Amino acid sequence: MRPARALIDLDALRHNYQLARTLHGGRALAVIKANAYGHGATACARALATEADGFAVAFLEEALELRAAGIEQPILLLEGVFSADELDLVIRHDLWIVVHHAEQINLIRKAHPALPLQVWLKLNSGMNRAGFLPHEVRPAWQQLKDSGRVAHITLMTHFARADEPHVHTTAEQIATFDAATRDLPGARSLANSAAILGWSAAHRDWSRPGILLYGADPMPGDPNDLRPVMTLESAVMAVREIPTGAPLGYGARFCAERPTRVGLVALGYADGYPRAVPDGTPVAVDGVRTRLIGRVSMDMLTIDLTDLPAAGLGSRVELWGANVPVNRIAAAAGTIAYELLCNVKRVRFEYRGN
Ligand SMILES: Cc1ncc(COP(=O)(O)O)c(C=O)c1O
């Protein structure tokens, strides 16, 4: 069997959730959209079921999958609904919805839900991606109330740059949110992972940790107690020696600067490992760091075993995990850990700590 696999440490997931909840205070919606950032939404929801206050996904189908798997906790749809018929399913499956633009209020006003809706009303406090502008939020709140179709309204916003501790925009977004919602009743939710870690002024009734749950620090560098949840690994499936000056792999990007022992690893960009990383990107072989050499291929990649004489056929190769932070690989690829984690596919998923 091909040795490529993603090991998912559910104890680490629970640990990170509790850390988020403790750091922020109040209640925490575990953000498990996009298949729990690539970790497996059902398995992650089940692992958190006894302790999570609720979950957040992007859209209805993601929530229905969780309900079908027996998840009973509150589930918030971060994109809200796209049509009136989705509102019926929202009620039938006891889901919560974000309302972030006027058309969604129109849908609610025209609908006849069997029970009142649980709404999270989103304010655009400066990110300018989704949500009502400060002067629109009070009328939107009133329209929802007047519709007679809404039970509770939670007030929320989302930060554009909370992972940048030295820029002032997060403080401005907090102030904008507070000013626009000052007289409105209801619980508040502002903080994503970076704000949980770095912006205590944003801590209110509910947090919404995402990337932090999976152990990837959105602000790498600061010490913390996060534990990586996913280990992406495979094994050496062939070894060859190449002489000084010999090219290796597509485009001959790498040329051996000394006699080099090359390990061929069964994992490539079709599995979600980024093709963009340069020579020298770290990997760990049986827990010892070495480097990637040569371009990443679709199903394979090559690593330098010259200084690891004990390594050979079958040696375990960690692409990211406890020895190689996923953030390090993301930086090497010019992207973010979120994208790498979401893109893992085709490998075997194995869960520990059920
Ligand atoms: C509205 C909202 N809240 C929370 C999150 C979680 O963000 P993070 O993964 O940075 O914690 C997201 C993710 O994109 C989001 O869209």
- For 137-191, the pLDDT digits (tens) are 999 999 999 999 999 999 999 999 999 999 999 999 999 999 999 999 999 999 9
Distance 298 CA to ligand 1 centre (A): 30
Lowest model confidence (mean pLDDT) among 36-40, 46-50, 161-165, 220-224: 220-224
What value does the mean pLDDT take over residues 213-235?
91
- The answer to whether the CB of 317 falls within 8 A of the CB of 235 is yes
- The answer to whether the CB of 2 falls within 8 A of the CB of 39 is no
**What is the rounded average pLDDT for all residues in the chain?**
96
CA distance 126 to 113: 32
Distance 31 CA to ligand 1 centre (A): 7
Q: Closest ligand 1 atom to the C-alpha of 209? A: 11
33 in active site: yes
Q: Closest ligand 1 atom to the C-alpha of 58? A: 16
Tokens found for residue 292: 């990637």
Q: Closest ligand 1 atom to the C-alpha of 162? A: 10
CA distance 272 to 146: 48
Distance 116 CA to ligand 1 centre (A): 26
CA distance 92 to 80: 15
Q: pTM of the predicted model, to two decimals?
A: 0.96
Catalytic residue among 33, 37, 214, 338: 33
121: Cα within 13 Å, side-chain hemisphere: 30
149: Cα within 13 Å, side-chain hemisphere: 21
345 in active site: no
Distance 32 CA to ligand 1 centre (A): 9
pLDDT higher than 80, residue 221:
no
Ligand 1 pocket check: which of 23, 35, 189, 208 to mutate, most ligand atoms within 8 Å of Cβ?
208
Catalytic residue among 37, 110, 214, 250: 250
How many other CB atoms are found less than 10 A from the CB of residue 140? Answer: 23
Residues in the ligand 1 pocket, defined by CB under 6 Å: 31, 78, 158, 192-194, 208-212, 218
